[in-house]
Amino acid sequence: MPPVISFHFGLPEAGLLRRLKAVGIKIWGCATTVAEARWLAERGVDAVIAQGAEAGGHRGIFLTDDPVRDASKQIGTLALVPQVADAVGDIPVIAAGGIADGRGVLAALVLGASAVQVGTAFLVTPEAATSAVHRAALKTATDDGTAFTNLLSGRPARGLINRVMAELGPISRDAPAFPTAGAALAPLKAKAEAESRSDFSSVWSGQAASLAVEEPAADVTRRLWAEAEALRQHFL
Ligand SMILES: Cc1cc2nc3c(=O)[nH]c(=O)nc-3n(C[C@H](O)[C@H](O)[C@H](O)COP(=O)(O)O)c2cc1C
């Protein structure tokens, strides 16, 4: 039995949550705004993940559904974490988005987080199931090389800007609904990937990808904590 189940895009219906809690499973939920964090807190989550706009992969957005209007409103981790921490009281907050070294870890803790969630920095570890084209694209990632797109799945997600995002414009009201949007691109994706191109692939990445180090996942975890601890002793 998993000790924790973490939900993206809101929560399942209350009956299912009650059954999970009854057998001792902790429930985590992802919030991209203070309103979403309050919504999760009201439904009894054990921790709130505050996902800032820097984060790679799908936005956890669930209280609004207009990708065109909402893309430019997404809140950065630095602004989101303390506001979520203030809003949810005693519920632990897990900071996510743009954290890829000890500086980010310590900053998140100072902002009011109890823990951090790291995604992009693990994509280049040997344990990750990251595809060859995705790994190659991450090697040349820059701070301004990502954007939100809903073209690849139907929901907004941050990824490295590739051909389909550049040529169609990364966000479109015409994208098919989640999760079917990728199906239309599948033949193009397969052909491009066979030629080692990520033109039509979901090359998810956060804005701090260039900080990632190719080393085993356990080493990443230990290094991030050691760096944060050294900084804490220096500054606090
Ligand atoms: C390739 C990739 C896949 C992800 N898949 C999920 C997922 O299935 N469920 C989820 O809750 N979050 C998922 N995330 C989001 C992360 O949990 C997290 O919010 C984010 O990676 C943190 O920001 P960072 O990428 O800057 O570290 C994913 C992120 C990436 C990069």
Angstrom CA distances, 131 to 58, 102, 134, 199, stand at 18, 26, 5, 13
Residue 139 pairs in a beta bridge with: none
Per-chain mean pLDDT for the chain: 96
Question: Whose Cα sits closest to atom 3 in ligand 1?
Answer: 57
Give yes or no for residue 69 having a pLDDT over 80: no
Residues 32 and 96: their CA atoms lie apart, in Å, by 10
User: Could you report the per-residue pLDDT of 18-37, keeping only the tens digit for each?
Assistant: 999 999 999 999 999 999 99
Could you tell me the two tokens for 129?
A: 């199931």
Residues 7 and 142: their CA atoms lie apart, in Å, by 29
Q: How big is the CA angle at 103 (ends 101 and 109), to the nearest 5 degrees?
A: 110
CB neighbour class for 188 (10 Å; exposed up to 12, middle 13-18, buried from 19): middle
Residues 59 and 157: their CA atoms lie apart, in Å, by 5
Among 177, 32, 183, 179, CA closest to 95: 32
Ligand 1 contacts CB of residue 202 (under 6 A): no
Domain assignments of the chain as residue spans, ordered by start: 4-235
Ligand 1 contacts CB of residue 159 (under 6 A): no
* Interval between CA 89 and ligand 1 midpoint (Å): 25
**186 close to 180: Cβ distance less than 8 angstroms:** no
pLDDT band at residue 232 using 50, 70 and 90 as cut-offs: very high
Which fold would CATH assign to domain 4-235?
TIM Barrel (3.20.20)
Give yes or no for residue 67 having a pLDDT over 80: no
**123 close to 187: Cβ distance less than 8 angstroms:** no
Identify which of 204, 220, 221, 224 to mutate to test ligand 1's pocket (most ligand atoms within 8 A of the CB).
204
User: Could you report the per-residue pLDDT of 94-151, keeping only the tens digit for each?
Assistant: 999 999 999 999 999 999 999 999 999 999 999 999 999 999 999 999 999 999 999 9
Question: Whose Cα sits closest to atom 21 in ligand 1?
Answer: 119
- The residue type found at 202 is S
* Interval between CA 234 and ligand 1 midpoint (Å): 30
Identify which of 116, 117, 155, 202 to mutate to test ligand 1's pocket (most ligand atoms within 8 A of the CB).
117
